[in-house]
Structure 1
Amino acid sequence: MRIIFAGTPEFAVPSLRAAAARNEVVAVYTQPDRPAGRGRGVTASPVKLEAVQCGIPVLQPDNFKGAEARDARDAMRALEPDLLVVVAYGLIMPQAVLDIPTHGCWNVHASLLPRWRGAAPIQRAIQAGDTRTGVCLMQMEKGLDTGPVRLSLALDIGADETGGQLHDRLAALGAQLLSDGLGLLRAGFKPVASPQPAAGVTYAHKLDKAEAKLDWTQSATLLANKVRAFNPWPVAEARLLDERLRIHGAVALDESHAISPGDVLRMGRDGIDVACGEGVLRIRTLQREGGKPITAADYLNARRHHAG
């Protein structure tokens, strides 16, 4: 087969390796190099770096929409692809592009559709308290993650699992799913496309750094889920003990109290217990401004030493 792969972030790299395992990827599409990091230097995407290392040609059009993108569409058409595989590409594929490959476009999506369509399915699943998620191999159509599903694999979300940890597990599972789908297609057994059910649709809106601030009037369970979901980015934060802290690890305690939300109930080796609208949030790992993530015990020791 002649496969075109389109992806940008680290999540897509395992799937690119799976698609390229038999030297069938004729080109890789990824977003243009952009400034990143503290120095704001122009940086290539993880997918581009992997493609270059594998010796696969890389194309980086700004978009595929409108008359001005005709050259980009013509360049893809000239590659005569049998299949376009899209994994977290980040650019909208118009119908004119979806119609180019012989077998259309497959998308590896990090949720069990129709739950969590959209940009941040991994983090939103944890934030909502979901205990199960997975990956889908979807036949792309014009709508946002609305296409029929050809294959899927599920997994359980760990009680203490962070967004970063689940990201890595789903990236590997997505590569396995894509490999399974490609194997069937090579053998002449195109996986059946099943329409998504109309019930159970939810949207995973893009993460916003403004969401990171913890609202102590919410329940401890909601806040603990947010802390897990937003690790490693954008990282939950709160004003606590007279300073701004980033919260990397916390658990909810099913405990009643009679103090105001946001007040510290107790501090010790096990963590810093903060009263919430319902229950108590025990902060285990945190970060001071300009510092590195440390345990709550080390943080309290440092404060005592400074005060002494």
Structure 2
Amino acid sequence: MNIIFAGTPDFAAEALRALVSNHFNVVLVLTQPDRPKGRGLKLQPSAVKVVAEQLNIPVAQPETLKSAEVQAMLASFQAGIMVVAAYGLILPESVLTLPRLGCLNIHASLLPRWRGAAPIQRAIEAGDKQTGVGIMQMDKGLDTGAVLFELTTPIFEYDTAQTLHDRLAILGGEAIVETLSHLPQYPAVAQSEDGITYAQKLTKNEAQINWQEDAEIISRKIRAFNPVPGAWTFLNDRILKIWMSSASANQIGNPGEIVDVLSDHIMVGTGKGVICISELQLQGGKKLSVKQFLQGHPLHKGQYLGEAQ
């Protein structure tokens, strides 16, 4: 069976590798056009394009799938199914019905929880204890299609969006291989109408730390926004990004107040409890452990993090 694969970032690249290594016949890869990145703003290919070229699979990078020319091109590959993973373009209904068996999406949550753009980050932020990947039959709604197969994983206390992403990417590859290998065994099951939540896209503004919130909430946000966009606050008049922390309910301090400075962590008061910061980055500097940071930027008890001064 001919397969068209549509995806863009690392999460999707892992699934593409899994399909090819398990001898599925991927005849075309769709991915986003090359985008400018880095300080020089040079055009960079997507992670999926890099993998596809390594595997000698034809690549197409249309700006839209709505044009008749693009749809005719897709039809010419006579695909039995299209596999979609974090592609980034809306698939019109005419494309969803183009392959004989339709389009399957690899989604990084246990639907109907966390439909939408940022399911990994929102699961951590909400304090979910478990998440996973689902293989969903795509329809014209936003992640509303019936689910064929799921794999689960716990969310650990130390998970960041990056570590959870990497684990789910591997599970996504395993899930799509299992689904396609035994397709008749996995009938599509309609999603429950209960428990629907939406994972809104992350913004830089929401990543600013509100020290009035509870320590547990702040610590979850720090992990959820690592690596993008990065939870941040102010140290005097400079932006300070906080990359890793844990929460403690056993100590108290005023919101934003540094209550203790130790060799390997900094304790900061919140609306309830304190957070113990272990990795941070001052504007213009590198990401550092607390020990490294304190060598160049001494901090002291009673100092406040928060609004620019």
> TM over 0.5: same fold?
yes
Deviation for aligned residue 1:241:
5.6
Any stretches of 5+ residues in structure 1 without a counterpart?
none
**How far apart are 1:6 and its partner, in Å?**
0.2
CA RMSD in angstroms comes to 1.4
Letter in 2 for 1:48: K
| Structure 2 counterpart of 1:303, from 297, 302, 306 | 297
Cα offset, 1:256, TM superposition: 4.8
- The equivalent position to 1:267 in structure 2, one of 261, 270, 287, is 261
Aligned to 1:109: 107
1:24-103 map, 5 Å: 24-65=25-66, 69-103=67-101
Deviates more, 1:261-270 or 1:173-182: 261-270
Counterpart contact for 2:264–2:289, Cα < 8 Å: no
1:167 match: secondary structure: helix
- Work out the CA distance in 1 between the residues paired with 2:239 and 2:154: 34
> What CA deviation, in whole Å up to 9, does each residue of 1:220-260 have, x standing for no partner?
11110011111111111111366421101111110353x53
2:168 equivalent to 1:170: yes
Query: Which residue identity does 1:39 align to in structure 2?
Result: G
- What does 1:113-132 correspond to in 2, within 5 Å? 113-132=111-130
Aligned length: 298
Unpaired segments ≥5 residues, structure 2? 300-309
Cα deviation for residue 23 of structure 1 reads 5.0
| Alignment correspondent of 1:207 | 202
User: Using the alignment, how far apart are the partners of 1:159 and 1:91 within structure 2?
Assistant: 33
Q: In structure 1, give the amino acid aligned to 2:129.
A: T
Query: Which residue does 1:9 correspond to in 2?
Result: 9
Q: Which amino acid aligns with 1:194?
A: V
Distance between the aligned counterparts of 1:143 and 1:76, measured in 2? 22
1:16 partner letter: L
Shift in Å, 1:27: 0.3
Cα distance in 2 for residues equivalent to 1:80 and 1:233: 38
> Which segments of structure 1 move beyond 4 Å, counting only runs of 4 or more?
none
Structure 1 pair 304/114, CA: closer, same or farther in 2 (3 Å)?
closer
Q: Distance in 1 between matches of 2:254 and 2:154?
A: 35
- Aligned partner of 1:266: which letter? D
- 2:62, 2:295 → 1: CA distance? 52
Q: Where in structure 2 are the equivalents of 1:122-271 lying within 5 Å?
A: 122-185=120-183, 189-240=184-235, 243-257=238-252, 259-271=253-265
Verify the 8 A CA contact 2:113 2:197 in the aligned structure 1: yes
SS in 2 for 1:297: helix
- Residues 12-23 of structure 1 correspond to what in structure 2 (within 5 A)? 12-21=12-21, 22-23=23-24
Equivalent-residue separation in structure 2 for 1:98 and 1:15 (angstroms): 20
Go from structure 1 to structure 2 and tell me whether the alpha carbon gap of 1:72 and 1:217 turns closer, same or farther (over 3 Å shift): same
Distance 2:26 2:186 in 1: 20
Helix, strand or coil at the partner of 2:219: helix
Provide, for residues 56-99 of structure 1, a one-character-per-residue CA deviation record: whole Å limited to 9, x for no partner.
0001111123xxx1111111111111000000001111110011
Structure 1 window deviating more from structure 2 (289-298 vs 41-50): it is 289-298
Equivalent position amino acid for 1:171 in 2 = A
Would you say the 8 A contact 2:231–2:242 is kept in 1? yes
